[in-house]
Amino acid sequence: MNSQFLTSKYDIVFKTIFCDEDNHFLMTKLLEDILKIKVKTITFLNKELEVKFLKERRKIVDSLVLVNDKLYVQLEVNSSMGKEIYSRNFCFFSNIISTKTVKAENYSLDEEFIHIDLSYRLGKKRKVIEEYKVRNKEAMRNYVENVKLIEINMDKILNIWYTKDEKQIEKYKYLIMLCLNRKNLEKLSNKYKGDKYIMKYQEKVTKLNENEQFRRLVSYEEDFKFRENTAYINGEKKGQKKGIKQGIEKVAQNMLKDGCSVSSVAKYTNLSEKTISELQYSK
């Protein structure tokens, strides 16, 4: 098994650590740190979303939470960025806004909506944190008041750690910890001894890295993305659907070979148990 230390750059690592419905401890602190607000209550809403297709099931949102009963926050981890990623994320965000805004025959403006991107490979020219509004620049007027997008340049966040700028490290320490490998995470933990959030994160991410079954799951996830992206990049429209289907089935076969149960394979591929059973005995 690859000895690489899995950080929260992997969306599945991030979701496993932060999207814990039974323990809001880390998500609460992360949102307070990014949004500069006091978080009193959190409700995870991913499970309430209607999902019809495998691609939607896997990537509709990394995290969707209701904060303080009025603020909807969508949070995405993007290991790489491109125009198609922006379009996809904004489409999902818009869908959430429309779903949560329409009440009966009226449009409710009581709620606020914030989309947060934790993005890698944005480039050196981009700022550490950028905020976006639907806004008329000349008139200095917002088209809508209750919608905002925040993009965090995670490569620049990581670079802050290596610059050893004490004030900046203190300011961004809860974002920095998401990027660090085992050795540097230990250094951060020692630097802020007694910080319960850093210690809890270190404990959880270390346990995940020591879990061989979870590490295989990350491999399946990355393998799926590779096959999915290859199908879209290299395939004609007629061949894309077939290529993705073949990729899903190949991942399912690999999971079965590694001893995963039929029910587990069904959970992570969205294939029927009947289809998985047939794949189990196919060459």
* 202-230 pLDDT tens trace: 999 999 999 888 887 777 666 555 554 54
Report the alpha-carbon angle 80-188-31, nearest 5.
55
Model confidence over 127-169: pLDDT tens digits? 999 999 988 878 888 888 889 999 999 999 999 999 999 999 9
Question: 56, 50 in Cβ contact below 8 A?
Answer: no
d(CA 23, CA 85): 30
Percent of the chain topping pLDDT 90: 42
Say which amino acid occupies 75.
Answer: L
Residue 88 or 32, more confident: 32
The model's pLDDT over 28-72, given as tens digits with 9 standing for 90+, comes to 999 999 999 999 999 988 654 444 333 444 444 568 899 999 999
Q: If we measure between CA atoms, which residue out of 3, 8, 69, 10 comes closest to residue 217?
A: 10
pTM of this structure: 0.74
SS3 40: coil
In the chain, domain spans: 11-184, 213-280
